A and B are shown apart, each in its own frame.
Chain A
Amino acid sequence: MRLFFSNLKKYKGYLKYAPVSILKTEVANTYLNWLWWFLEPLLFMLTYTFVASLIFNQSLPYFPLFVFIGLNTWNYFDRCVKRGVVMMRHYRGIVTKTYVPKYIFVIVQMALEGIKIAISYLLLIPMMFIWKVPLTWHILESIPLFLVLLILSFAGCSLMLHFGVFISDLEKTVSVVMRLIFYMSGVFYSISRNKTLSKNHPFAKTLLLKVNPISCIMDGLRRCILYGRSPDWLWIGIWAAVGLVFCGLGIHLIHKYEAGYAKIS
């Protein structure tokens, strides 16, 4: 771990510069530039709200905001994990020409997506005023939840980076698995308030809500931002610990095998 932190220090200039450069390029290639960072989550929020409330009869307090928080949280984790699978292919030009500790690319990706999610969350402030969401001190509890999201995203991205080098069809497999997790995470419906689940499948409900770390974080964020309640800290703590173990495993695997990544044919 000492090597990990000394590398972070060594490449701090690159870590600051690269995400901003990539974002600038992304916006430069579109007509609406940075407006997409607001528009994309907003439009998806409207789409899922429409589908969930009209077709699936979902009606919860502050439902559009409920969807918005779910979508942003999911998008961050999903993009980091999926990008991890193809990361070495994407940076092949660099890794075959110069040495860079490969988790530096993981952190660049996380920072890049982090800037986007932060901008999206700015949109939540006026939306909370419009929907008259009461502000409580519980909103401060969202900070450790975001930290746990970062830990889990780093773990997922670094592990996928490693295994993505060796397994050619991991990209498609991960895509399917992530879609499955998306539908099971309660992005546009409430697992905790689902009466059918509570009545007929209480065990499945616990699995979906607690054993899935993303739905656990989403539920926590919604509780503290929208509903003035504390998250389930026991499960959040468990997932933080599990995430840290997997972060350590990801860093260990990258340190041990990264010299071979450039040799992959």
Chain B
Amino acid sequence: MQDELNKVNASPENTQEIPSEGAENTSVAEEQLAEAIAEAEAEDSIIRRDAEPALIINDLHITYRTIQAQTIFKTIFKRGSQIKKFEAVKGVTFTVPKGEIVGLIGKNGSGKSTLLKAIANIFKPDSGSIDTCGHTVSLMAIGVGFQKDLSGKENIYLSGMLLGYTKEYVASRYDEIVEFSELGEFIDAPVATYSSGMYSKLAFSITAVLEADIILVDEVLSVGDINFKKKSFARLQEMISQEDKTVLIVSHNNDTIRNLCNRAIWIHNGNFIMDGEANAVVDAYEAYMEAEAEKKKLARKKEAEAIKA
């Protein structure tokens, strides 16, 4: 891990990202980060490095080509101009052993969800590789992707089959999905008539019941009412307690990462910043975010004073 961190921190991209956002206050964050990294290294023995790998990410680069759909005239006469590139993931490398629960943290727009979508094969990487070592992968995100005109029942079958399961297998888990979703007789109504809560409950239930070997969880623990949240959390705990399930969780709730994960990876502006024991990485991340908030507060204060003057 020391080698990995050294490698990442030594690269010009990674050393530039964090300091670029601050001046003198960032040095506080850097100090805290260095302390946290040392702590993470000390606790690194907790993380299972010798287990069979379930997921190998190697030098992954993902660039969004934000292709603005445009008129035929522009397409013909200004070819290529509609494509704007944005590198969301910049050379991330890590390995997840089978049975490990890894939290991905970082501020909004840091590339966490993009990374999960690439692992789920929704986005293809521009370079680098993702090896799921023959395991099945399912992305548990808010809204599996329903056809809104169809009923909840039809969508359970269709989503299950899109996730690669047979109709017979989905049928065998159908009752469990309906029970978990708490939708009752609404399961036969078109999904278009569902409230956002009902929609999310159904989406969560499908991926929670139709488990894959590698489960990717993207901010789904805030779904539904308080009881459903508790139930979802319990279900996730139950899933990850199984030795053979490998889980990657993206959450902005740091307590979720601390409670569920034994390892965390911090990604910042697409760069790999830190990898280690969950509490240590979250501490470092929180310290950095606090310093960032302080810096912004100071900048606003200075700006206000300048306006007054």
Instruction: Report A's interface with B, CB cutoff 8 A.
Output: 10-11, 13-14, 17-18, 21-22, 24-25, 29, 91, 93-100, 165-170, 173, 259-260, 262-265
Interface membership of B120, Cβ < 8 A: yes
- Per the bound structure, the CA–CA distance linking A264 and B70 in Å amounts to 11
Please tell me if the beta carbons of A259 and B124 are within 8 angstroms of each other in the complex: yes
Please tell me if the beta carbons of A260 and B69 are within 8 angstroms of each other in the complex: no
Please tell me if the beta carbons of B162 and A262 are within 8 angstroms of each other in the complex: no
- Per the bound structure, the CA–CA distance linking A262 and B66 in Å amounts to 10
Which residues from A are CB-within-8-Å of B159?
Answer: 98
Closest to A163 in B: B75
Interface membership of B146, Cβ < 8 A: yes
Which residues from B are CB-within-8-Å of A17?
Answer: 157-158, 161, 167
Please tell me if the beta carbons of A262 and B122 are within 8 angstroms of each other in the complex: yes
Further 10 A-B residue pairs, CB within 8 A, beyond A96-B122, A98-B144? A13-B161, A13-B166, A22-B147, A25-B150, A98-B139, A99-B122, A168-B71, A259-B123, A262-B123, A265-B67
Which residues from A are CB-within-8-Å of B139?
Answer: 97-98
Which residues from B are CB-within-8-Å of A173?
Answer: 72
Interface membership of B172, Cβ < 8 A: no
Please tell me if the beta carbons of B122 and A98 are within 8 angstroms of each other in the complex: yes
Please tell me if the beta carbons of B67 and A97 are within 8 angstroms of each other in the complex: no
Please tell me if the beta carbons of A260 and B65 are within 8 angstroms of each other in the complex: yes
Task: Give the total of B residues in contact with A, Cβ under 8 Å.
Answer: 39
Please tell me if the beta carbons of A168 and B70 are within 8 angstroms of each other in the complex: yes
Which residues from A are CB-within-8-Å of B162?
Answer: 11, 14, 94, 98, 100
The residue among A91, A93, A263 with the most chain B CB atoms within 10 A of its own CB is: A263
Which residues from B are CB-within-8-Å of A262?
Answer: 117, 122-123
Please tell me if the beta carbons of A93 and B145 are within 8 angstroms of each other in the complex: yes
- Per the bound structure, the CA–CA distance linking A62 and B121 in Å amounts to 54
Please tell me if the beta carbons of B121 and A167 are within 8 angstroms of each other in the complex: no
Which residues from A are CB-within-8-Å of B121?
Answer: 99
Please tell me if the beta carbons of A98 and B145 are within 8 angstroms of each other in the complex: yes
Q: Would A93 and B65 be within 8 Å (CB), given that A14-B162, A17-B158 are in contact?
A: no
Closest to A173 in B: B72
- Within the complex, the shortest CB–CB distance from B156 to chain A, in Å, comes to 11
Which residues from A are CB-within-8-Å of B242?
Answer: none
Q: Would A263 and B65 be within 8 Å (CB), given that A25-B150, A93-B145, A95-B145 are in contact?
A: yes
- Per the bound structure, the CA–CA distance linking A112 and B145 in Å amounts to 20
Q: Do most interface residues of chain A lie in helix, strand or loop, or is the interface mixed? A: helix
The 8 A-B pairs at the shortest CB distance, nearest first, are namely A259-B124, A94-B145, A97-B145, A168-B69, A99-B121, A14-B161, A93-B145, A21-B154
- Within the complex, the shortest CB–CB distance from B192 to chain A, in Å, comes to 10
Interface membership of B149, Cβ < 8 A: yes
Please tell me if the beta carbons of A98 and B120 are within 8 angstroms of each other in the complex: yes
- Within the complex, the shortest CB–CB distance from A66 to chain B, in Å, comes to 35
Which residues from B are CB-within-8-Å of A265?
Answer: 66-68
Please tell me if the beta carbons of B151 and A25 are within 8 angstroms of each other in the complex: yes
- Within the complex, the shortest CB–CB distance from A242 to chain B, in Å, comes to 24
The residue among A10, A94, A98 with the most chain B CB atoms within 10 A of its own CB is: A98
- Per the bound structure, the CA–CA distance linking A259 and B126 in Å amounts to 10
Which residues from B are CB-within-8-Å of A99?
Answer: 120-122
Please tell me if the beta carbons of A166 and B158 are within 8 angstroms of each other in the complex: no
Interface membership of B163, Cβ < 8 A: yes
Interface membership of B186, Cβ < 8 A: no
- Within the complex, the shortest CB–CB distance from A154 to chain B, in Å, comes to 21
Q: Pick 28 A–B contacts, CB within 8 A, sort by A.
A: A13-B161, A13-B166, A14-B162, A17-B158, A17-B167, A21-B150, A22-B147, A25-B150, A25-B154, A25-B190, A91-B147, A93-B147, A94-B162, A95-B145, A96-B117, A97-B122, A98-B163, A99-B120, A165-B67, A166-B69, A166-B70, A166-B75, A167-B75, A168-B70, A170-B72, A262-B122, A263-B67, A264-B69
Q: Which of A10, A11, A93, A166 contacts B67 (CB 8 A)?
A: A166
Closest to B142 in A: A97
Q: Which of A21, A22, A100, A165 contacts B69 (CB 8 A)?
A: A165
The residue among A17, A95, A99, A169 with the most chain B CB atoms within 10 A of its own CB is: A99
Q: Which of A14, A29, A93 contacts B143 (CB 8 A)?
A: A93
